[in-house]
Chains A and B, each alone.
Chain A
Amino acid sequence: MKWKTNNLLFIHVTRIVAFLILTFSIYLFFAGHDDPGGGFIGGLMTACSVLLLYLTFDKRKIDEMLPINYVYLIPAGLLIAFGTGFLGILFADPYLTQYFDYFTLPWIGEFELATAVLFDVGIYLGVAASALVIIVTIAGDE
């Protein structure tokens, strides 16, 4: 089994589809406010797009392309999710209280900004990083 197969179609489809999945994950992340979606499934879809890159190209090339140690992203995400809860305490409200307001932005119109998005960023980082750590550790085992 030393001969190399030339999966040209797979490589070229992956170059487009991986970024489509990444775009879809960002859409799911922002749709999570009042539609199905949110930080958890957005993070899982991000992990899927990176996993597709890992499946197509070899591991060393992707490690050069994405020089991120995913292990450090897990506590960073957890700290963001934990720390944004203290915004409520600063304004003398219960822990994890969310604040939202409507703003009128140019070209977009009326837009709702909420502090729950910051909490979701933490969930997103934690889920994406832990899924990638699990997959890369198990599949990259010698």
Chain B
Amino acid sequence: MIFETIMIVFLSIKALAILLCFIRVMMGPTMSDRALALDTVGLLLIGFVGSIMIIHETVAYADIVVVIGILACLGSIAIAKYLERGVIFDRH
């Protein structure tokens, strides 16, 4: 009972953090703020799925964690390269 309460509070805090990051994505003053907030959304989603794995007592979602990690990493690399170089793919 106390465990379920703790997990519900934990998931609520994490959902609130994702919402705050999403607000930062929408109204970030610079593009770097948006890139950082999107990367943080990916990391928070990894923690969210991990705590759902603890609640359901399974390891079946471990693949989803890796997929979200790869997608967040690739998205951050693409945004960072676009901000620094102005192009996504080099051609020369």
A residues near B (Cβ < 8 Å) are 1, 5, 10, 21, 24, 28, 31, 35-37, 41, 45, 48, 51-52, 54-55, 57-60, 136, 139-140
Chain A residues within 8 Å of B84, by CB: 5
Q: Give the secondary structure class of A's interface.
A: helix
* Contacting pair B63 A35 (CB below 8 A): yes
Q: Give the secondary structure class of B's interface.
A: helix
Q: How many residues of B contact A (CB 8 A)?
A: 20
Chain B residues within 8 Å of A59, by CB: 89-91
CA distance A49 to B67 in the complex (A): 12
* Contacting pair A54 B89 (CB below 8 A): yes
* Sampled A-B contacts (12; CB under 8 Å): A1-B86, A5-B85, A24-B70, A36-B60, A37-B63, A48-B70, A51-B74, A52-B77, A55-B74, A58-B91, A58-B92, A140-B91
Q: Which residue of B lies closest to A51 (CB)?
A: B74
Chain A residues within 8 Å of B70, by CB: 21, 24, 45, 48
B88 at the interface (CB under 8 A from A): yes
* Contacting pair A52 B92 (CB below 8 A): no
